Structures are given as C-alpha cells and as structure tokens.
Structure 1
Amino acid sequence: MRAFVAAAVLAVSSLSGMSASAQTVEVGNVKYESAVDLAGQKLQLNGAGIRYKFVVKVYTAGLYLTTKASTTAEVLAAPGPKRIHISMLRDIDGNELGKLFTKGMEDNAPREEFVKSINGVLKLSEIFASRKQLNNGDNFSVDYVPGLGSTVLLNGKAIGETIKEPEFFSAMLRIWLGDKPADTGLKEALLGVKKARRN
C-alpha cells in the first residue's frame, strides 16, 4: 500500500512539474509566461524569439494576443489588448535603440500610418534617450489597450505618457512583423510559424 501511495505521489509531482514548466517558454535564458492578464483580459503568448544582429544576440521578444495569429494581418486585426515584451541580452545605447526602432517603423509602416504615429515615435525616442543605456537583463513592454492607447513599461514600471494614437502600436509591431523585419527568424517565431532558437 505504501508503495502504491508513494508511486501516486510521485506521479502527481511529475504532472505538477510538467504543468509548471508548460506555463513558461524559455528563450535565450529568458522566461516568458504562456499567459498574462492585461486590462482585465487574458492574453496568450503568440510566439517568442531572439533578435540576432549577425551572430550576436541582441534581445528576446514575446508577443501576447487575445487570440492566436499566424500572419501579420491577423496580428494587426486581432481584437482586444496586445503586448510586445522585450528583454535585453546585451548592453545597448538608448539613443541607438530608439533610432533603430524609428527606422524599423519608417521602413515597414504605410506612410499614412507612420505619419499618424509620429507623436508616439517621438515619445518613445525621448524615453530611450532619457535612459541613455539599456543593460543586459533590462526589459521593457509596450501594452496596447483599445480606446486608451499604448503604455511603455521599463522593468515593469510605466514610464512616460500614454501614447493615444492606435496607429503607433501597429507601426511598432511592423518593426518585427513587416515586409522588412528586423530579423526574419524572429518574425517567424513571433507568429508561431517556426520554433524559436532557444539559445
């Protein structure tokens, strides 16, 4: 009887461990929760991956949506709140990152969308410029809530004013999901069409 109970406890422990590990996805030694709450809604991790520049790992990124999407059009059209979460894998100058993001938006967003996003682009650049440097281990998120706008969080704390233009968040997502993405492998990972390189 004791052997049976011990076996049962071991089985339950194994299942608990599996469910705990299933709640996070690890990419580049960074853990992403499989689900998060935002504005009273549950968002699912659509995909996560690593941004490489040549062979250097720059950051990891994870995309959260209310419903699964496997194309850029589906992501942009997805209803409800959305989140993009970035975790730095190396030190980078804040101004440099701001310029790269601005260029990524300009290269990928339709002109009209980019023009309507200018206010948000300037605010994002100011945030990065004031930070001067993002260090390995720092993270930031941009949360979009329909009707309210986009909030930038640095290491979990909201920073700067809410960016009200909805076009800004769409233009920003195109940095990674547009026709000229920052990293093709990362685009596929965020869309969940290809497993991310974990290291």
Structure 2
Amino acid sequence: MQKSLVMALIVLFCSLPAMAREVAGIHMEDEVTQEDGTVLLLNGVGVRSKFFFKIYAAGLYLESKSSTTEEILAQDEGKRVVMHFLYSEVGRDDLVEAWNAGFTANGTAEQLASLAGEIATFNQLFDTVKEGDRIILDYRPGTGTSVTIRDEVKGVVAGKPFNDLLLSIWLGKEPVAEDLRAGLLGS
C-alpha cells in the first residue's frame, strides 16, 4: 500500500507543470505576457560564460515551444529573449562588438547587406550594463523587435528578417555558445 502511494505521488509531481526555472540564481518565469497581451512560454534557459566568467543568464520565450532552430525561425509569432546580467559590467562597445560578431558569424553576406540599417539602428540602442541589469528583446509580428534595458524601452527595430538574424546569435549555425543554444532549445 505504502509503495503504491509513493509511486502515485512521484507520478503526480512529475506531471505537474513547472512554475518557473532558476538558472545561475536568476528566477525565470514559466510564462510572460507581451505588451499586446500575447502569452509566451519559457522554451529554455542557459548561461553565457566567457573565460570561466558568467556574463548573463538567458531565457527564450515563444508562443509555441520548439526544440529546433528551424521551427523557431519559421514561426512569425511573438518571441522574447531575456538577458539577466551576472558580470560586474559589460561596456557598450563590448556589447556592440559581441552583437556584430554574432551577426557576422550567423548571417550570409546578402543578409548582412540587406539588414545593415537595422543592425546599425539596433547597435545604437545599447549602453553599458551592470550586474543585475536586464535586457529584453521582444519580437511582435508586424511591429518588430523592441529593446528594453533596465525596464526602459530604448527603441524598436522593424522586421522579422532582423529578428531571425538576432535569434541566430544564440540558435544559429555559429551560436555564441553551444551549451547556451542547447539550453534555450530546451535540451
């Protein structure tokens, strides 16, 4: 009798949805709501490390969960990347350099040329971030990608093609880190 009760409790607890996840001490909500009311689900989480330093914890939110880059980029639905900075300070120039390296590593020459204006606009939205700061990159179909730093909307970059290239920094053929990509894909 007691053994079957224990098994029933294990099955019950394993089947309950996770309410949130924690990564590197950062609490990631199981779902978030975009400004227009669209509910996004936490697809995966991970940590960006460099030279043994934890730079930021990231969460990827989607309307429809997916475990493949191709499916995620094919969806013209709401998407969000949340970056919680763990490192003491990342300067604006370092952020822009990292964005550009990610764009170059994952974009074709044609993409980079056609999105040069959007990339320049995006890079202008950033400033230095410090430990505890949060960057939210929120894509809404028909609107584009809004950039929010420390709860202040800095601007919007139009178009799905730009957001696809941006997401490729984490999910593309040359991600910023393989383990981060795996985490964001829910692996």
TM-score (norm 1): 0.81
List structure 1 runs of 4+ shifted beyond 6 angstroms. Answer: none
Alignment pair present for 1:150 and 2:145:
yes
Provide the alpha-carbon RMSD of the alignment: 1.7
SS of the counterpart of 1:22?
coil
Gaps of 5+ in 1: 1-14, 194-199
- How far is 1:64 from its partner? 0.6
1:168 to 140, 162, 180: 162
CA distance in 2, matches of 1:116, 1:86: 27
Aligned pairs, how many? 171
Structure number with the higher helix fraction is 1
What is the one-letter code of the residue matched to 1:31? H
Gaps of 5+ in 2: 1-12
Pairs within 5 Å for 1:71-110: 71-90=68-87, 91-110=89-108
1:122 to 120, 143, 148: 120
Aligned residues with identical type, % of pairs: 33
What CA deviation, in whole Å up to 9, does each residue of 1:144-176 have, x standing for no partner?
A: 11111111011222113x211321111111111
Partner of 2:31: 35
What is the one-letter code of the residue matched to 1:70? S
Alignment pair present for 1:191 and 2:185:
yes
CA distance in 1, matches of 2:55, 2:32: 24
What CA deviation, in whole Å up to 9, does each residue of 1:97-142 have, x standing for no partner?
A: 11111110111023322223222211222122xx2x2101111111
CA distance in 2, matches of 1:79, 1:67: 10
TM-score (norm 2): 0.86
CA distance in 2, matches of 1:86, 1:183: 14
If you compute each CA radius of gyration, which structure gives the higher value, 1 or 2? 1
